[in-house]
Amino acid sequence: MKTEILIGNIIQMFFMGLVLSASISAIFSITAVKEINRKRAVDTTRDVFTFLGAFFLCYFLPKIRIFTGTGVKLSPVYDLIITSLVLAKFADFITDLFDRVKRGD
């Protein structure tokens, strides 16, 4: 396994998560959506949009998958699912980080 390629792919996923987080935050910063109180339904909807955005981004851009070029023999479907989940988790992490900075924690 080529570890340096895997680490490079993970760093690339982090930056893609930043872009995805900013995109989803832009959707939820629309004035009509801001009027809705932050409840579990809104958070769940945000998580679903984040995962779907990550999935379709990874589906249409196969070069940004985690195990591409590492030598790990993995089914393309599993690679797509794992990459989508990691990208969605990075986006959630970045969103939580931005929320904490806003609150001043």
Mean pLDDT of successive 10-residue segments in the chain (105 residues)?
80 83 75 64 81 88 80 84 87 84 79
Cα angle vertex 41, ends 21, 25, to 5°?
20
pTM, two decimals, is: 0.74
pLDDT at res. 105: 66
pLDDT at res. 31: 58
pLDDT at res. 99: 80
pLDDT at res. 37: 63
Let me know: does 38 contact 102? Beta carbons within 8 Å: no
- In the chain, the number of structural domains is 1
Let me know: does 66 contact 86? Beta carbons within 8 Å: yes
Domain span including residue 45: 3-103
- What are the residues whose beta carbons fall under 8 Å from the beta carbon of 70, sequence distance 6 or more? 1, 2, 3, 5, 6, 9
